[in-house]
Structures are given as C-alpha cells and as structure tokens.
Amino acid sequence: MSIHYSPARDTFFDASLHADLPADAVKVSADDHAMLLQARTAGMTITMKRGRPVAVQPIIPVEQRRAVAVQGVKAEAGRRIVATASLIQQANDNAAIAMAALAAAAGADGDPAANVIANAAIDRRQRIDAIRAASNQIEATIATMSARSLTALDVTADHHWPA
C-alpha cells in the first residue's frame, strides 16, 4: 500500500486502488497518513510545507470566534435559566404573577396562599432576569475581546453569572 496526498484535491490516494494519481500527489508514510487524518478530525487543515503535507490550526477570524462565544453564552444562560425554573414552572409563574396583579388591580387582598405562590414566582423571575442581564453583559464584553482573550474565555465559569 502506497499512500499519496494531493494538495490540489486536498485528499489522500492509495496507489494500489487509484491507477492515475494526480500530478501533484506526494507519497506519505503510513504514520504520517494516520497523523494527518487524526489532525484533520481534530479540526486542523492540511497544507504543504517544503513539499510535504503538514497539519496546521486554521486561522479563525475574530468575528467568527466571537459568534461562537456568544452562542456559548446563550446556551449557558439557557441552561442556568432552566435550572432556576423549568419551562413549565416559568409558565406557571407567569400565570401566578398575572393573577396576583389582577387581584391587586381589582383592589382585592388576594388569597394568602396565592400570594405566597406569586412571591416565589416573582423571586424566580428576578433570578432569571439577573441571568439574562449577565448574559447581555458577557455578550457586550465579547464584542470587544481579542482573539487571544476569546481563547481563554470560559462562559460556564460561575464568576460570570449571578449566584
């Protein structure tokens, strides 16, 4: 088995299977072939250096890195919000808050048990709003971060979020 790499086609060819190799194909060892395939799987690209294929980290534009970081912030905020209150709990909280507001608008004292439920709902809503505010702040910070800073950013770290 003789493996060759074609930079023009960015792929490998086995000479025992491909009778006509591309003109730019260069022979690579089995070890190099395995290493290059593993590197490609890890997100690296293959380029030519001194006539040999080598794996390199792709240069990702800072705007793309920022977009990925913002997606991470949104995912983490969503995770923290659902940990605070499930979607069903949030819907029930919205109903409890609305019922308490209607009772107050009508001048009714309201049922004491319903008031306890509404106060707990308001507390969860305030915690969720704090998570959203933190998410907005992190996203605003990301918009000004350098590529190096983005590499070190861990949006899951608790210090970014309200306790």
Domains of the chain: which residue ranges? 3-56, 62-160
Contacts of 28 (CB under 8 A, 6+ apart): 3, 4, 5, 12, 36, 52, 53
Task: Look at residue 54 and give its three-state secondary structure.
Answer: strand
pTM score, whole prediction: 0.67
Cα–Cα distance for residue pair 34/7, rounded to 1 Å: 17
Cα–Cα distance for residue pair 114/135, rounded to 1 Å: 31
Q: What pLDDT digit, counting tens, does each position of 128-158 carry?
A: 999 999 999 999 999 999 998 998 999 999 9
Q: What pLDDT digit, counting tens, does each position of 38-77 carry?
A: 999 988 999 999 999 999 988 889 999 999 999 999 999 9
At 119, give phi and psi (nearest 5°): -65, -40
> Tell me, what DSSP letter sits at residue 85?
S
